[in-house]
């Protein structure tokens, strides 16, 4: 009930993000139902049906990734002072976020079921014919358990992922916020863990700072574990995933190059009959190429935070002024928040470029409607996730921006710093995406 009330009274921007999650869930659910329809219409071709079902894992992961990002950026479920006394502690708010995510995804799955049933035919009109009849299976009866299971995959996966991402951190082991904490529950628990004994749940104020017992406590002075809440935090460590990301990216490109040679030679040496095809015209024996694409995407996702941190450091090099210093420090601070979605967007862009190159080279037939839907769904989810992470980063530094304005900084300076950050990211990631896309398309262009 609380999740429904928060959904009803949310800000229009928050409602738009939830509608985006519902639309992505509807698209993924429709693809899952189409794979079920293909299996019903081709009972003797189980390998191709299983291949289509496994292909739906990519839109499913993209939809869950978007749902988790939207749940993190939801301002209605953030911890606030006094909510714990009302029974809305971090654990309860985490449950509310998971329930809200499940509600949005369930509405999208319901829409997908209605659209699929409408296309199969019913009282409103006859079923579609032609190429659409291949994956609709209008003359076959849908199994109710299988249909409900496929429709429940997206809501269950999204809600469980949101609950795991927003779970409260253990106050006995405080840590700096990472891309998983996103400054929501981890920062509050860290502040509670740094409070003196007997004052848990209160923030340090001037009365506690002037407390003589607290200042001259010999046990606290010699305790290496208890942090001082008045001392500034140490600088954030740079992301450690850049070397691993480069290594995985190199392995993925190597696998693509090797698989392209093997696939080309096998296709020219054998002509025993038509092979099963993936959506988009990729042959079933091109699975090593797909594995190389997945490794390349994983490498870019791992290297994204490190590259973003490097962009911030480069902005501050060679005697920086106030503008470049501000832009670089913000990029370094937000590297874990926006770096990984940016790396995923680059991976999707490079994969899309490779598919277009395959189509232009004549190695694949025209893309079907399900292929176009899946491509648009993955691309839209990754871009929406990046925009959501950018909005969340802006909300996280709203207090800092307000403090700079109170100190007399012009508003144009903040906008110029934001444009400088965007320009630095584009200058690094756009050439990198084009280079990786060219390397990924080389095996397919032979």
Which of 152, 128, 122 lies closest to 29 in space, CA to CA?
Answer: 152
What whole-number distance in Å separates Cα of residue 297 and Cα of residue 301?
A: 6
pLDDT in tens, 283-340: 444 567 667 777 888 899 899 999 999 988 888 888 888 888 888 888 888 888 888 9
What is the model's pLDDT at position 280?
47
User: Which residues, other chains included, contact 445 with Cβ-Cβ below 8 Å and sequence gap of 6+?
Assistant: 357, 358, 361, 363
User: Which residues, including other chains, have CB under 8 Å from residue 341's CB and lie 6 or more apart?
Assistant: 69, 304, 382, 385, 386, 388, 389
Taking phi over 0 as left and psi of -120 to 50 as alpha, with beta for the rest, 137 belongs to left
Per-residue pLDDT tens over the stretch 373-388: 888 999 999 999 999 9
Check residue 149 and give its pLDDT: 92
Distances (CA, A) of 395 to 99, 330, 369: 23, 13, 38
Q: What is the pLDDT of residue 171?
A: 52
Q: What is the pLDDT of residue 342?
A: 92
- Amino acid 223: pLDDT: 47
What was the pLDDT predicted at 140? Answer: 77
Whether the full predicted model's pTM is greater than 0.85, yes or no, is no
For 188, the token pair is 């509050």
144, with CB counted inside 10 A (0-12, 13-18, 19+), is exposed
CB 41 within 8 A of CB 135: yes
Stretches where the chain sits below pLDDT 50 are 172-225, 266-285
Note whether 186 and 175 are within 8 A (CB). yes
Q: What per-residue confidence (pLDDT) applies to 64?
A: 94
């Amino acid at each position: 009930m609380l999740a429904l009330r928060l959904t009803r009274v949310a800000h229009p921007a928050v409602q738009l993000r939830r509608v985006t999650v519902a639309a992505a869930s509807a698209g993924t659910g429709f693809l899952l139902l189409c794979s079920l329809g293909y299996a019903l219409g081709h009972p003797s071709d189980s390998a191709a049906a299983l291949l289509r079902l496994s292909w739906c894992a990519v839109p499913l992961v993209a939809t869950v990734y978007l749902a988790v990002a939207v749940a993190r950026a939801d301002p209605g479920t953030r911890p606030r002072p006094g909510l714990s006394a009302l029974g809305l502690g971090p654990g309860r708010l985490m449950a509310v976020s998971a329930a809200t995510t499940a509600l949005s995804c369930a509405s999208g799955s319901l829409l997908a079921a209605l659209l699929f049933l409408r296309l199969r035919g019913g009282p409103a009109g006859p079923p579609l014919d032609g190429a659409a009849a291949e994956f609709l299976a209008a003359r076959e009866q849908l199994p109710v358990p299988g249909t409900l299971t496929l429709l429940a995959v997206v809501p269950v996966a999204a809600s469980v992922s949101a609950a795991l991402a927003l779970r409260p951190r253990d106050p006995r082991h405080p840590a700096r916020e990472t891309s998983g904490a996103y400054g929501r529950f981890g920062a509050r628990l860290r502040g509670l863990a740094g409070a003196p004994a007997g004052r848990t749940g209160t923030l340090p104020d001037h009365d506690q700072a002037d407390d003589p017992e607290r200042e001259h406590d010999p046990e606290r002075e010699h305790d290496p574990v208890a942090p001082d809440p008045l001392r500034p935090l140490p600088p954030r460590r740079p992301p450690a995933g850049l070397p691993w990301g480069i290594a995985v990216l190199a392995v993925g490109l190597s696998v693509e190059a090797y698989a392209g040679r093997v696939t080309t030679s096998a296709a020219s040496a054998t002509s025993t009959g038509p092979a099963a095809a993936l959506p988009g015209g990729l042959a079933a024996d091109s699975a090593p190429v797909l594995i190389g694409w997945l490794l390349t995407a994983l490498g870019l996702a791992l290297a994204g935070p490190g590259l973003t941190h490097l962009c911030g450091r480069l902005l501050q090099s060679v005697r920086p002024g106030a503008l470049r210093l501000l832009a670089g420090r913000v990029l370094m601070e937000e590297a874990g928040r926006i770096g990984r979605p940016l790396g995923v967007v680059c991976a999707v862009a490079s994969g899309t470029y490779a598919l277009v190159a395959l189509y232009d080279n004549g190695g694949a037939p025209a893309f079907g409607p399900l292929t176009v839907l899946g491509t648009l769904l993955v691309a839209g989810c990754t871009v929406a996730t990046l925009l959501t992470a950018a909005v969340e980063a802006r909300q996280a530094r709203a207090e800092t921006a307000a403090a700079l304005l109170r100190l007399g900084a012009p508003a144009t300076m903040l906008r110029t710093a934001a444009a400088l950050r965007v320009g630095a990211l584009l200058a690094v990631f756009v050439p990198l995406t084009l280079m990786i896309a060219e390397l990924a398309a080389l095996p397919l262009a032979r």
